[in-house]
Amino acid sequence: MTLFYLCIGGGLFVLGLHSLLLRPHWLRAIMAINIMGSGVFMVMVALARRGDTTDPVLHALVVTGLVIAVSATAFALRLASGLLERTKKPEGGA
């Protein structure tokens, strides 16, 4: 079962990377990075069950990683929305 979730995690990572390499729009790029992140977190959670007991260290790492991912995403969204406001302005009413 661990292997199954490991493969799903790896698959999500590759999927996100693939969509990022297509040079998408900013919003899609931010979402692609979040999907890559979910893939990594999935690998972490899957690896936590590699032995007979659950490894609490990896769970702690996932929580830390989630906090970072949320704040980084918020920052990226703020920058992207600032960019959007700026590109809209010169066009005026158009």
Partner 1 sequence: MTLALISLLTPLAMALLLLLSRSRSGWWVMGSSLVSLIAALGALHGVIQDGAQWMHLGGWDAPLAIRFRLMPVSALLLVFTALIHLLVSVYAERSRHSQTQRTDYWPLSSLLHASLAALWLSHDLFNWYITLELLGLVAVAMVTISGAKAYVPALRYLLLSLVASLFYLLGVVLLYGHYGVLDLALLADAAKADPTTRLALALMTLGLMLKAAFWPLHLWLPPAHASAPTAVSALLSALVVKGPLFILWLLWSELAPAELGQEAGPVIAVAGVLALIFGGWSALRAPYLKTLVAYSTVAQLGYAMMALGLLLHWQRPELHVALWLFVLAHGLAKVSMFLAAGEMQATLGSKSVGVLKGATQTMPIAMFAFAVAGGSLIGLPPSGGFLAKWVLLRPLLLEPAHWPWAAGVLIGTLMSAGYVFRVVVLSFDRAHPTRPDHRPDLFAQWLALLPALLVWGMALISDPLILWLTGGAP
Residues forming the site for partner 1 (CB under 8 A): 13, 17, 20, 26, 29-30, 33, 36-37, 40, 43-44, 47, 50, 57-58, 61, 64-65, 68, 71-72, 75-76, 79-80, 82-83, 86
Amino acid letter, 38: S
Spatial distance between the Cα atoms of 45 and 49, rounded to a whole number of angstroms: 7
| Cβ closest to partner 1, residue 8 vs residue 26 | 26
Give the nearest distance from C-beta 56 to partner 1 in angstroms.
10
Spatial distance between the Cα atoms of 23 and 82, rounded to a whole number of angstroms: 20
Give the nearest distance from C-beta 72 to partner 1 in angstroms.
6
DSSP state of 90: G
Chain centroid to Cα 94, Å, comes to 35
